[in-house]
A and B are shown apart, each in its own frame.
Chain A
Amino acid sequence: EVHLVESGGGLVQPGRSLRLSCAASGFAFDDYAMHWVRQAPGKGLEWVSGISWRSGTILYADSVKGRFTISRDNAKNSLYLQMNGLRVDDTALYYCAKVRYSGSWGYGMDGWGQGTTVTVSS
């Protein structure tokens, strides 16, 4: 069974940094691309970033490009999101998610963690 556990969220001042982690188990982590998706309070889902199985392809939403960096350590079955220059509108619940099929972005995200909350406020 796919198990994803996010950590690293918290309260941070605007302009500061935070690093989120996602620990994966129950599947061959190094075979699958992974995503970060967020949901701001009272808002809908927003795709943030994705990384291919060997980190060869890295993708970002325009809203975080240049500020956030996604990475993964397949030896540790872990996904990361380094968030720099945080803004108030980055406040959200951040989920990591697994793509449905290895080797493809195209078929949705079939495994999700429970999320970690990031609050950006002075």
Chain B
Amino acid sequence: DIQMTQSPSSLSASVGDRVTITCRASQSISSFLNWYQKKPGTAPKLLIYAASSLESGVPSSFSGSGSGTDFTLTISSLQPGDFATYYCQQSYTAPFTFGPGTKVDIK
């Protein structure tokens, strides 16, 4: 099975900050990497699919990059609604594993 890791596991940031979260796969997954935002009490929301494609309706402040084993989610200017937990997920092969998550909270 492909293992997904994320770093950091949590971070504190201020509104307006640039935030970068990294995700690493235990083997190459090409560009089959997706990013989700999860807030308490709400369903996960797809932000980025295929490593760098922005999901419809998602602010352009979110961007993704990477291929192979190393990927990055960047929030260029953190907004109040962006405080959440972010998960990467590989969709290269089953089981379609998620990373452990990165919690972004207010500094």
Name the interface size band of chain B: 20 to 34
Q: Per DSSP, are chain B's interface residues mostly helix, strand or loop, or mixed? A: loop
Q: Which residues of A contact B91 (CB under 8 A)?
A: 105-108
Instruction: Kindly supply a per-residue 1/0 record for chain B positions 40-67, scoring 1 wherever the CB is within 8 Å of any chain A CB and 0 otherwise.
Output: 0011111001100101000000000000
Cβ-closest chain B residue relative to A35:
B96
B46 close to A45 (CB less than 8 A): no
Give Cα A114–Cα B55 distance, bound, in whole angstroms.
19
Give Cα A48–Cα B19 distance, bound, in whole angstroms.
30
Q: Which of B34, B44, B97 contacts A95 (CB 8 A)?
A: B44
B46 close to A108 (CB less than 8 A): yes
A113 interfacial by beta-carbon distance below 8 Å: yes
Q: Which residues of B contact A106 (CB under 8 A)?
A: 32, 50, 91-92
Query: How many residues on chain A are close to B (CB under 8 Å)?
Result: 24
B98 interfacial by beta-carbon distance below 8 Å: yes
Cβ-closest chain B residue relative to A44:
B101
Cβ-closest chain A residue relative to B53:
A107
A110 close to B55 (CB less than 8 A): yes
Q: Which of B43, B92, B101 contacts A112 (CB 8 A)?
A: B43
B95 close to A61 (CB less than 8 A): yes
Check A45/B43 contact, CB under 8 A, given A62-B95, A107-B50, A107-B91. no
Give Cα A45–Cα B97 distance, bound, in whole angstroms.
9
Instruction: Kindly supply a per-residue 1/0 record for chain A positions 81-102, scoring 1 wherever the CB is within 8 Å of any chain B CB and 0 otherwise.
Output: 0000000000000010100100
Give Cα A114–Cα B39 distance, bound, in whole angstroms.
12
Q: Give 6 CB contacts A-B under 8 Å.
A: A44-B98, A47-B96, A50-B96, A107-B53, A109-B44, A113-B43
A-B pairs, 3 with minimum CB distance: A108-B34, A112-B43, A108-B49
- In the complex, besides A44-B99, A106-B91, 16 extra interface pairs with C-beta distance below 8 angstroms are A37-B98, A45-B89, A45-B98, A47-B97, A50-B96, A60-B95, A61-B95, A105-B94, A106-B50, A107-B32, A107-B53, A109-B34, A109-B44, A109-B46, A110-B46, A114-B43
